[in-house]
Structures are given as structure tokens and as C-alpha cells.
Amino acid sequence: MAIIAPSMLSANFLKLEQEIEMVNNSDADWFHLDVMDGRFVPNISYGMPIIAQMKKAAKKTFDVHLMIEEPERYLEAFKKAGADYLTVHYETGYHQHRTLTSIKALGMKSGLSINPHTPVEMIQDIIGEIDLLLIMSINPGFGGQKFLPLTYNKIRQAKELITKAGTNTLIEIDGGVTLDNAASILEAGADVLVAGNTVFSSPNPTETIAQLKAIGK
């Protein structure tokens, strides 16, 4: 059964509480929360204070995706803000093994994300430390972009690596997920689907979430 994680980046921030309620009452499993610093990615989103506020209204798992430089400086702050899964980018650090073990030591699930240009094999030696492998299916920074087909191969490679290693690592796909490509993404081996634009630009977000969930059944 696929895990569905609506990306709140595409929510209406003027009605954030209602948007959170909508997700609470939907078939969604997680909240996907995108943190951008204007350095690692060419956009700035929101940080700990907003996430901490959202946590008060949200009733589901917080999947926090850090698109920031030096993420190791903020692990504890995001734990305090309410992160359940905390994902850093492979490309942002010299010591990601240490960062992943620190995330777990703080009581969160550890996530590692790879950009489209990063080969899956770069993370093979540390797969045992990764609870969530986030494969970017767009270049990070903005919602509403088009899914990159090169992702399919990455998903298959990641699935093979995880099966061989015998870990429980979940594969999450983020960027350009739609009702049309969700089935192929899951077929390739993904476990978690992030969806921003597809959910929040639809006339009936609750129904769209239900449709995504039904594809993964």
C-alpha cells in the first residue's frame, strides 16, 4: 500500500489551518514539508516556526524535506518543531553518515535525498542508515514541475539495492507526481508518493488524494 504525502508547499498559506484539516480528514498518510534556504535551491520557503505551528493542527506524520546547506546545524531544531522523518540532501554534506546517525539519535527517522544528477550507487554503502530514500524526480526548488523520466531507472536501482541489503528503507518520489504517472512510479518500486500541485491545484483535493491512494492499493 503506497504512502501518500501531500506537499504543503502548494497549499494556500492564507488558509493553512483549513488545508491541514483537509489533509487530516483525507486518505493521505503524511504531511510533506519543504524547507528551502535560497542557497541549495533557488527558492526560499518556510522554516521551523511555521512547521511548529502546523504541528499543532496536524494529526499525521511530519515528513520534513530539507533543501538547505549545512543541514547538520538544524537537526535538533527540526526535531523540536515536530519532524518525524527528517531528510537531508546527499549533495549538501561531507559527512552524511554522521548526519543520518545523528537524526536517528534524536529520535527521528532518517532521510537522505538525491538530486536527478546523483547516481543511486553513491549511497550504497550507507543504505543501512537510511530509513527514507527520497529520489528527486525534478530539480528541487519549485512545485509544479514536470516529472523527469530518468527517475524510473533510479527507482529500480534503489529497489534492487535495498532488497540486496535487506533494509526496510522506503523509497519516496518527489516532484511531478500525477494521477497519470503514479502507477508506473509505484510499479518501478516506490513506496511513498509526494504530490503538491496534483493535490492542491485540483478542484477536489480530498478526492484527488483518495484517487492517488487507490492507485497504490
Closest contact distance (angstroms) between CB of 2 and Zn ion is 16
Q: Does 87 bind ligand DX5 (CB under 6 A)?
A: no
Residues in 57-76 at the binding interface with ligand DX5, rule: CB under 6 A: 65, 67
Of 96 and 197, which CB lies nearer to ligand DX5 in the complex structure? 197
SS3 content of the chain, % helix, strand, coil (to 5): 45, 20, 35
**How big is the site for Zn ion, counted in residues (CB under 5 A)?**
3
Q: Which residues pair with 132 in a beta bridge?
A: 111, 170
CA 16 to CA 50: how far, in whole Å?
10
Interface with ligand DX5 (CB under 6 A), residue from 97, 141, 157, 184: 141
Burial 130-144 (b: 16+ CB within 10 A, else e): bbbbbbbbbebbbbe
Interface with ligand DX5 (CB under 6 A), residue from 155, 174, 186, 192: 174
Of 163 and 201, which CB lies nearer to Zn ion in the complex structure? 201
Return the C-alpha cell found at 164: 540486496
Of 93 and 141, which CB lies nearer to ligand DX5 in the complex structure? 141
Q: Which residues pair with 62 in a beta bridge?
A: 31
Interface with ligand DX5 (CB under 6 A), residue from 22, 194, 209, 212: 194
Which parts of the chain are beta strand (E)? 3-6, 30-36, 61-67, 85-89, 109-114, 132-136, 170-174, 192-195
Closest contact distance (angstroms) between CB of 11 and ligand DX5 is 10
Nearest to 34 by CA among 5, 60, 1: 5
Residues with catalytic annotation?
34, 174
Query: Under the rule (CB under 6 A), what is the footprint of ligand DX5?
Result: 7, 9-10, 32, 34, 65, 67, 138, 140-145, 174-177, 194-198
List contacts with Zn ion (CB under 5 A). Answer: 34, 65, 174
